[in-house]
Structure 1
Amino acid sequence: MSYTTLLFDIDHTLLDFDATERWALRKLFADEQLEWTEERETRYRSINKILWAALERGEVTRDAVISERFVTFFAEEGRAVDGKQMDERYRTYLGQGTDLIDGALELLEQLKGHYRLYVVTNGVSRTQHARLAGSGLSPYFDRIFVSEDTGYQKPMRAFFTYVFDRIPAFRPEQTLLIGDSLTADIQGGISAGIDTCWFNPSQETAPAELTPTYTIERLEQLLDLLRMTERIR
């Protein structure tokens, strides 16, 4: 299959969210005079992961996720906080995080001009746009689609319908989605009727019922994959 359109997830695919999140949490904890420890970071990430998974299943709203994660975390520390105000500060710090996944910039430099490139990401719009701009990745993309702007989130079919309707002369058979999440990206892409490429640097095993079209462990492998489709020579 020869592809003309590439849809990229960003967190854990092009941008190093773990590094950014750790830096933002350290700043937030310092503001609250709370010592950063690996245990506290792990506990926050567990709370956050559970809430985001519930959002992907349509069980909670985005506003509930970004507020309740801090309310829950600080309650375990014996503190009552305003979740929305806490999230505003966290988002400010998060938006300053521009760490790249190895090979991300080089990959986009190779792809630009050969493909139409789009971002498809869950998250808060101003945060994601700030991170893409700060990292220097924004100019490589024809358009950036953030779940907050669409009113839907991956893996919802409505999110992808929104995106497809806004890509000129969109053809699903010529479109490839690249992302790290089996649920948001791979399941979302499969349900939307497009090919998928699972970015799997940790070499995890996908469940038998969820099979991506391709799997790569390093971003540069995407170039080899695409060369086989005769778009890059």
Structure 2
Amino acid sequence: MKYTLFLFDLDDTLLDFRASEKRSFMHTMHTLGLRDGIDALFTRYQEINVDLWKRFELGTVTKDFLKVERFRKSFQENAVDLDPELASRVYLESLPDTVVLLDGAKQVCAALSAIGEVGIITNGVEAIQNRRIAASGLGGYISFVATSEACGHAKPDVRFFEYATKMASAFNKETTVIIGDRLDADILGANRYGIDSCWFNPERLANTSAAVPTYEVSNLLDIAAALDAVQVNLKQA
């Protein structure tokens, strides 16, 4: 196998962020005393959150603004009288307690860490992501965590990948692969930086973007085989 550095996205690649997000949102609303209309509020919150993250990745808003604005706008549009700053704090504090691993996450990290070095590349909040990784049980397989917050630039910006690869014990573009679920952040970033990529596509979506993955898998347990590591039995890792 030619790869020795494996750069994994975290949310919706190794961790089921959708499940964690909903659990943490529900916990936050209950903690703040809201009981009615939470499902509809959550649906709108998700739409606003996705838009704000896209704006953050384009560099048009800051992460501190995003963290509060998604609640402020959701509350305003739904006539909910709650403090958005408090909601943001409660929500972020609860995320490490709602970690859900995607099927195969532990096996693939264990197997690939035995071959080379596994790093995490994430646009998430550094302190929260580190706590979530610790809670997930994946920490023992991961050599480093690169966050956009610490870097100052977000995926797919090439400067983020330059920052991340400097954290590796050894780096060569020819022996590095990025693995992630997002074409517009992970795969496009890999294309721009000139390294191989593996698109984790569990829903088997069509690729209508300009991003071009080197590999594509719908199951985490298929990654090693896709990268020509057929000698690794992930199901026994």
Q: Normalising by the residue count of structure 2, what TM-score does the alignment of the two structures yield?
A: 0.92
Q: Report the number of matched residues.
A: 232
Equivalent residue runs for 1:67-216 within 5 Å: 67-79=68-80, 81-207=82-208, 209-216=210-217
Query: 1:221: Cα distance to partner?
Result: 0.7
Whole-Å separation in 2 of the counterparts to 1:218 and 1:230: 15
1:51: how far off? 0.4
CA shift, 1:115, in A, is 1.4
Taking structure 1 as reference, are residues 36 and 110 closer, same or farther at Cα in structure 2, changes over 3 Å only? farther
Is the Cα contact below 8 Å between 1:7 and 1:120 reproduced in 2?
A: yes
Tell me if 1:66 matches 2:67: yes
Any conservation in 2 of the 1:28–1:90 contact (CA below 8 Å)? yes
Corresponding residue number in structure 2 for 1:42: 43
What is the match of residue 20 of structure 1?
Answer: 20
Q: Runs of 5+ in structure 1 lacking a partner?
A: none
Q: How far does residue 41 in structure 1 lie from its aligned partner after superposition?
A: 1.6
How far the C-alpha of 1:209 sits from its partner, in A, is 2.5
Residue identity matched to 1:23? R
Distance, in Å, in 2 between the alignment partners of 1:36 and 1:8 is 36
Equivalent position SS for 1:59: coil
Following superposition, the deviation at residue 9 of structure 1 comes to: 0.4
Separation of aligned partners in 1, 2:209 and 2:122: 25
Show the counterpart of 1:33: 33
Q: CA RMSD in A?
A: 1.8
Percent identity of equivalent pairs: 36
Give distance in 1, aligned partners of 2:74 and 2:209.
35
Stretch of structure 1 that moved more, 36-45 or 216-225: 36-45
> TM-score, normalised on structure 1?
0.93
Question: Which amino acid in structure 2 is aligned with residue 185 of structure 1?
Answer: D
1:168 deviation in Å?
2.9
1:82, distance to aligned residue in structure 2 (A): 4.2
- CA offsets 1:72-129 (integer angstroms, 9 cap, x no match): 0111222455433321111011121220001111111222221111000111111111
Judged with a 3 Å threshold, the aligned counterparts in structure 2 of structure 1 residues 38 and 86 are, in CA distance, closer, same or farther, namely closer
5+ residue gaps, structure 2:
none
CA drift of 1:56 comes to 1.0
Confirm or deny: 8 A CA contact 2:6 2:112 kept in the other structure.
no
The 10-residue stretch of structure 1 (45-54 or 69-78) with the greater mean CA deviation from structure 2: 69-78
Tell me by how many angstroms 1:229 deviates. Answer: 5.5
